[in-house]
Homo-oligomer: A and B are copies of this chain.
């Protein structure tokens, strides 16, 4: 299997019974503010609250019967963990989830709520990978990496297929980039459907590895992430970076202030709950990093999982 349009279309058929077809929202007042026509693909309304359900369901339902019987495993503290646990339950198989011991109780409860079997580990990348590798060895479970797994990237590409059905003549798509699973799927699908479309990746300046790597032509790992956008605190993956180099026009970075202001404007104007990572593409328009006057712009609102007790505009900034 390759990551291409036909695989993404096949994934869309495979996952359709298990995911929402999310709406595309528009707003005259947000359009007026940035001078373009904006189309927000609301993956915050997706099952388990984020686009991650697309890739997780595709990965789980692409396994053979024999593979599936041994379960799936991953390491993640966020939306991928919940989405994979949910997808595994839909197929009736175990999901082994490695989470750092400092994960919030709410995130642990959320994964447990979907039936995930949690193993806590020390909060380092090394401990996560070693613990997960041990679990895979012990159980025979299939490893489903949050963004380098090909079925995951393929599944994430289905969101933009729907966006382009609802808004067929986009000039530009703004997509958040962390590990690059959503970006790889989005760029692959969109450029195949409309070769003239431009794809811009957006990330927090405080986790700006994708922009630096894109400029350098090779991956420069993120050493320290300082951003409220917790879904994007990750170095871009190898296969993801390869797609980025081939299909993406540029990488914009945004400040923490712009992310928070963007999140708040989306809540106030669209009346929807969007998490910080999901507000990152719109933040690029707020900061005038990108001029979109007269253009039709698709933005992927990647998720809506936030702690309502700790909203950023009520917190002290570091």
A273 at interface by CB-CB < 8 Å: yes
A271 lies within 8 A of B273 (CB): yes
A141→B264 CA distance, assembly (Å): 37
When A272-B272, A273-B267, A273-B271 are in contact, do A309 and B304 touch as well, CB less than 8 Å? Answer: no
A304→B23 CA distance, assembly (Å): 18
A45→B270 CA distance, assembly (Å): 7
B45 lies within 8 A of A271 (CB): yes
A66 at interface by CB-CB < 8 Å: no
B267 lies within 8 A of A308 (CB): yes
When A23-B23, A309-B313, A311-B311 are in contact, do A271 and B272 touch as well, CB less than 8 Å? Answer: yes
A271 lies within 8 A of B23 (CB): no
| Size of the chain A interface, CB-CB below 8 angstroms | 18
A38, chain B: closest CB distance, angstroms: 16
Pick the most buried of A23, A44, A273: most chain B CB atoms within 10 A of its CB. Answer: A273
- Measuring CB to CB, which residues of chain A are less than 8 angstroms from any residue of chain B? 23, 44-45, 49, 264, 267-268, 270-274, 304, 308-309, 311, 313-314
A271 lies within 8 A of B304 (CB): yes
Residues of B within 8 A of A273 (CB): 267-268, 271-273
When A23-B23, A314-B314 are in contact, do A308 and B268 touch as well, CB less than 8 Å? Answer: yes
Residues of B within 8 A of A267 (CB): 273, 308
Listed by A's residue number, 8 A-B pairs whose Cβ atoms lie within 8 Å are: A23-B23, A44-B271, A271-B272, A271-B274, A308-B311, A308-B313, A311-B311, A314-B314
- The residue in chain B whose Cβ has the minimal distance to the Cβ of A29 is B113
A16→B51 CA distance, assembly (Å): 33
B264 lies within 8 A of A308 (CB): yes
- The residue in chain B whose Cβ has the minimal distance to the Cβ of A310 is B314
A279, chain B: closest CB distance, angstroms: 13
Residues of B within 8 A of A49 (CB): 271
- The residue in chain B whose Cβ has the minimal distance to the Cβ of A23 is B23
